Amino acid sequence: MFGDIGTSPLYAMKETFNGHHELEPSAGAVYGVLSLIFWALTIIVTLKYVLFITRANNHGEGGIMALIALIQSAKLKGARNTLLLVALGAFGAALFYGDGMITPAISVLSAVEGLEVVEPDLGDYVIPITLAILTTLFVVQRFGTGVVGRAFGPVMVLWFGALAVFGLIEVIDDPSILRALSPHYGIEFLVERPGTAFLALGSIVLAVTGAEALYADMGHFGRSPIRRSWFALVLPALLLNYMGQGALVLSDPSAIDSPFFRLVPDGLLLPMVILASSAAVIASQAVISGAFSVTRQAVQLGFLPLLTIRHTSRESIGQVYVPAVNWGLFAAIVVLVVGFGSSSALASAYGIAVTGTLTIDTILAFVVVRTLWHKPMWMVIAGATGFLIVDLAFFAANLTKVLAGGWFPLAIGLAIFTVLITWRRGREIVSRNREEEEGSLRDFVLALEAAEDPPVRVAGTAIFLNANATTTPLAMRYNVEHNRVLHRHVIVTSVETTGVPYVHPEDRHELDDLLIPDDGIILVRLRFGFQESPDVPAALRAADLPWKIDDATYFLSRITVDPEPNGSMAMWRKRLFATISRNAANRSEYFNLPADRVVSLGGNIEL
């Protein structure tokens, strides 16, 4: 989880001075930049994320999707306010995917570029080696990260130890560099050189990339381990390395071409390149796993259709693999590496997605502070204003990089945001129209009891899955109306995704005999958290049902969406929804149903 922010020293200082703003490494500039890096780490990472936003968790789970779930559970004045905030959160989640594409590319590229410091003639091999490492990383995703993950901790401890040691050597040679910790130098840099300093903020923000990962991965580790690791190891190591790079540049301005690797003695350069590449792979893995996790939460919260999601560990529920996301990220990353060609060029594209997500997290978190924590308005306004000034300053500085490459993550973010919002809105419309088509479940059962020519009740148990617990599954209605048969035992099963990450087993199910105890039809409500993968057969077996379900037949209602020009949504969005719907994953696999005992019946629903 510290991999992303831990690899920032590879390129943050270098790009701040070598970026498109051409900053000379004078004493005033070096002290000013170091001061701004320190206070960015302090305000954004330490104060905002480690100490504050990690408290805004959803039953221990963090990340922007957890904030969206909290917002949805809050009682805001007006449904429109909730809708706007949820849409804002969805855009932040979309930007996260843009960040997830750039982080592996720039991290691995900047690490492998250390070969050029070892031997300049090796520069031609940087791109092929980078692509080979990234290809291997994405190919092994389907096997899971459990085995490799055991090595991540020791490698990162070694990495942060190396950061601290090599930085400390230079700090000992020039301890006066520690004066850069004073905010005086940062303020002076901003006041005396406002134009240059503003542009430099676009690269200084690279030092805090990965802050969102601390929050997003909180559910795997807990808030206390994050705080202890940050203060005891990660923050001191980062500061020592940045200070060491600053001291080196002051003594040898030519070192600014690669200040990180210039800290390392010649004899240790190659091992350091290997260690940096390992750290970059770990940083990339954290972002990729985060993208899988965000995707699963987005599916459960209704922002995406059902996708193929595979569990890669029997011990850890959080280890999942999403093939569509994996190969989509890989394709985009290959385009980035080949298209931009260097970490310096990629740095121009990096930052907009990060700062956009930082800003949205601040807004949503303070809505939670007001609506769920019930803190006074003056406190909310004061806190939000303080953090937003910093967030928006970095965001504005990165807007200057749009034409130089920043358009890429913005375009990706807007495209994904369009998909998220279109699916969410289309799903609402289809669900409403579907409920009208399905009709009341209780009325349907009562009509069966009163029918002069009731359907034939055949032996066995039928399980009809339906999203709504109050309406009749279309498969059940069609089976009765067209086939004129119904199983002797019928279990109507409603699957609900709650706003909490995990549901306690005792709260998993709820039985209802539909007011007619002896008709052989019962309703079972199943509840799953947004971090869980619904296993319907297992949940039903644990529900203490009156009938055995080992040989039961599962009926699914298959829906075909018909886009109609009725004004409920733009026609192009309706066609997009219909296309996504046709390519959604098989629901029987998603609910872990036995493939040889699944029957699908359905019809058309107007959109």
pLDDT tens, position by position, 109-166: 999 999 888 888 888 899 999 999 999 989 888 776 555 566 678 899 999 999 999 9
What per-residue confidence (pLDDT) applies to 317? 53
User: In the block, which residue shows the tokens 């134009």?
Assistant: 195
* List of E strands, 498-535: 509-512, 521-528
Q: In this structure, are 472 and 354 located in the same domain?
A: no
* For residues 550-555, average pLDDT: 92
Alpha helices (H) along 140-255: 146-173, 183-192, 194-204, 211-216, 218-221, 223-229, 235-251
Q: In this structure, are 592 and 483 located in the same domain?
A: yes
What per-residue confidence (pLDDT) applies to 149? 61
What per-residue confidence (pLDDT) applies to 314? 55
Identify whether 423 is part of a domain: no
pLDDT exceeds 70 at position 323: yes
What per-residue confidence (pLDDT) applies to 315? 52
Identity of the highest mean pLDDT range in 98-102, 221-225, 320-324, 387-391: 387-391
pLDDT exceeds 60 at position 445: yes
Q: 2: which DSSP letter?
A: -
Mutual angle of helices 407-438 and 79-112, in 10-degree steps: 140
Q: In this structure, are 112 and 213 located in the same domain?
A: yes
* For residues 221-232, average pLDDT: 89
* For residues 23-39, average pLDDT: 94
Identify whether 407 is part of a domain: no
Tokens for 240?
A: 């020592």
Burial class (CB in 10 A: 0-12, 13-18, 19+), 406: buried
Asked which of 355, 384, 400 is the last residue of a domain, the reply is 400
Q: In this structure, are 253 and 121 located in the same domain?
A: yes
Identify whether 420 is part of a domain: no
Q: In this structure, are 368 and 443 located in the same domain?
A: no
Q: In this structure, are 556 and 453 located in the same domain?
A: yes
Residues 99-116 pLDDT 10s: 778 889 989 999 999 988
Q: In this structure, are 357 and 472 located in the same domain?
A: no
Q: In this structure, are 305 and 160 located in the same domain?
A: yes
What per-residue confidence (pLDDT) applies to 148? 55
pLDDT exceeds 90 at position 191: yes
Tally the domains of the chain: 2
**Sign of the dihedral through C-alpha 282, 285, 289, 290:** positive
Identify whether 183 is part of a domain: yes
Neighbour-count burial for 200-221, b at 16+ CB within 10 Å, e otherwise: bbbbbbbbbbbbbbbbbbbbbe
Residues 518-534 pLDDT 10s: 678 899 999 998 778 78
Identify whether 415 is part of a domain: no
Rounded to a whole number, what is the distance in angstroms from the first to the last CA of the chain? 42
Contact 463, 491 (CB under 8 A): yes
Q: In this structure, are 389 and 447 located in the same domain?
A: no
pLDDT exceeds 70 at position 482: yes
Identify whether 418 is part of a domain: no
Q: What's the mean per-residue pLDDT of the chain?
A: 88
CA 139 to chain centre: 20
Other Cβ atoms within 10 Å of 550 Cβ, number: 9
Q: In this structure, are 464 and 395 located in the same domain?
A: no
Question: What percent of the chain lies above the pLDDT cut of 90?
Answer: 45
Taking the C-alpha atoms of residue 459 and residue 487, their distance in angstroms, rounded to an integer, is 6
3-state helix, strand, coil in the chain (%, to 5): 70, 10, 20
What per-residue confidence (pLDDT) applies to 165? 97
Residues 381-428 pLDDT 10s: 999 999 999 999 999 999 988 888 888 888 999 999 999 999 999 988
Q: 564: which DSSP letter?
A: -
Identify whether 105 is part of a domain: yes
pLDDT exceeds 70 at position 21: no
Q: Any idea what the CATH number is for the domain that residue 87 is in?
A: 1.20.1740.10
CA distances from 60 to 224, 291, 521 (A): 11, 19, 38
**Phi, psi for 27 (deg, rounded to 5):** -60, -45
pLDDT band at 497; cut points 50, 70, 90: confident
Question: What is the residue range of 596's domain?
Answer: 437-606
Q: In this structure, are 395 and 453 located in the same domain?
A: no
Identify whether 417 is part of a domain: no
* For residues 215-232, average pLDDT: 84
Q: In this structure, are 457 and 368 located in the same domain?
A: no
Q: 314: which DSSP letter?
A: S
Asked which of 355, 382, 400 is the last residue of a domain, the reply is 400
CA 125 to chain centre: 32
Q: 61: which DSSP letter?
A: B
Asked which of 375, 400, 425 is the last residue of a domain, the reply is 400
